[in-house]
Amino acid sequence: MTAGPAPRFLDRATPPHIATLISVSGLGALNVSIFLPSLDRMAADLGTDYAVMQLAVSGYLATTAVLQILLGAAADRFGRRPVMLGALAVFVAATLGILWTTTAWTFLVLRMVQGVAVAGIVLSRAVVRDMVGQAEAASRIGYVTMGMALVPMLGPVAGGALDEGFGWRASFGLLAGLGLATLALVALDQGETARAGGQGLRLQLRQWPALLGSRAFWGYTLCAAFASGAFFALLGGASFVAGTVFGLSPVWTGLALGTPAVGYVLGNFLSGRLSARIGTDRMAAAGCAIATFGMTASLLVTLAGWPSPWVFFGFCAALGLGNGLTLPNALAGAVSVRPDLAGAASGLSGAIMTAGGAILAALAGTLLTGSAGLWLLQALMAAVSALAGAALLLVRR
């Protein structure tokens, strides 16, 4: 943990302001969700089918899993600030390229390059852990993710509206503009928080067994992976469920996708207020229980013969609430196992979490072959939420 001056906004001599951390994290979250209501139309415009375009979700998640390891290690070696600036510059360039792409495969290549936006999510956690201890880190991460939770609430709505008004490329035009603004904000505000003379990737790789051999690290990481996996499964199937099963327009699809974020905002707010007092493990366990209950109830209502978008997406608010309680606390625990490797631990745990999400997003896409796929998706989301709670048993000494 680095001692230093308190953050002052737009002062590079101090750690970044929380508004900057929210901005860089929010850009990464927006990049995942803004175009989801447009997947069907993108497939038609680029001359391919939905399964190929779905790689923009599952393939992107797989790419960011690898990038999180590399970016976390690079940030420990070279510092948080230069890695963040470089990642944002590459993101803007890739996003501008998408505006002129005419083939599905060119789009997908540039989409994978866009994955460097994950630096904002990974490094914001590491920056917080640089400054404070585990319990306080969970609280601050909760506030950061509460702010960025507004993005998946509003992003799909904005993306659906931009699609209907100007076409699907307008969403990526917005991303490019926001990327430039965020790059300028980081350049003006983010002071360095990592200790000088960080370790290189090779030396960090030698020390990873200390992380991978820790039951606590695996418990927190698997908890986060399964908890977020339920949401990634939703991302992989939401466009199909909304458009094909329920016949919703892009705008209504975007509104429906915002319901988990309503619960997520509340969950992160509660994490910010209560984690330091109640404890990270109890908060994470409570979140897993709420998510499991919500998804199980959603499944039972559908099996009883009352499937509807109100039921499906309404109960997803419980999933969001559970994740809002679970993720800040589980991730704070993971990066606290070895505070001297906070960047690497953040990247490694995030990579494992995202790789699991990529698998579940792809699995969700294969399950959705008709109306029967709805209850299969609900069952999958309920099961992995329960596994998140079970993973916390590894944390117990």
Better pLDDT: 110 or 242: 110
Q: Where are the alpha helices (DSSP H) in 167-214?
A: 169-189, 201-212
163 lies in some domain: yes
Q: According to the model, what pLDDT value does residue 197 have? A: 54
How do residues 252-296 score in pLDDT, each as one tens digit?
A: 777 777 778 788 888 888 887 888 788 888 999 999 999 999 999
How do residues 150-205 score in pLDDT, each as one tens digit?
A: 676 677 788 888 988 899 999 999 999 999 999 999 999 888 877 655 555 666 66
* Confidence at 391, pLDDT banded by 50, 70, 90: very high
Provide the domain count of the chain.
1
* Confidence at 230, pLDDT banded by 50, 70, 90: confident
Report which of 258, 18, 299, 281 is spatially closest to residue 154, judged by C-alpha positions. Answer: 258
**Cβ burial 281-316 (10 Å sphere, 16+ → b, else e):** bebbbbbbbbbbbbbbebbebbeeeebebebbbebb
* Confidence at 125, pLDDT banded by 50, 70, 90: confident
For 29-82, the DSSP string reads HHHHHTTGGGHHHHHHHTT--HHHHTHHHHHHHHHHHHHHHHHHHHHHHH-HHH
User: What gap in Å lies between CA 129 and CA 339, rounded to an integer?
Assistant: 7
Report which of 201, 232, 269, 193 is spatially closest to residue 60, judged by C-alpha positions. Answer: 232
Q: Residue 321 above 90 pLDDT?
A: yes
Q: According to the model, what pLDDT value does residue 387 have? A: 94
For residue 291, the domain's CATH number is 1.20.1250.20
Q: According to the model, what pLDDT value does residue 15 have? A: 81
300 lies in some domain: yes
Q: Residue 243 above 50 pLDDT?
A: yes
11 lies in some domain: no
- Quote the tokens at residue 359: 């698998």
Give the domain range for residue 211.
Answer: 18-395
183 lies in some domain: yes
How do residues 140-156 score in pLDDT, each as one tens digit?
A: 766 676 656 567 667 77
* Confidence at 132, pLDDT banded by 50, 70, 90: low
Better pLDDT: 55 or 342: 55
6 lies in some domain: no
10 lies in some domain: no
Report which of 69, 384, 390 is spatially closest to residue 212, judged by C-alpha positions. Answer: 69
286 lies in some domain: yes
Task: Kindly state the greatest CA–CA separation across the chain.
Answer: 61
- Quote the tokens at residue 194: 């990592």
1 lies in some domain: no
Going through the chain in order, the beta strands assigned E by DSSP cover none
Q: According to the model, what pLDDT value does residue 33 have? A: 80
User: What gap in Å lies between CA 380 and CA 396, rounded to an integer?
Assistant: 26
How do residues 362-381 score in pLDDT, each as one tens digit?
A: 777 676 665 556 788 888 88
- Quote the tokens at residue 160: 């659906």
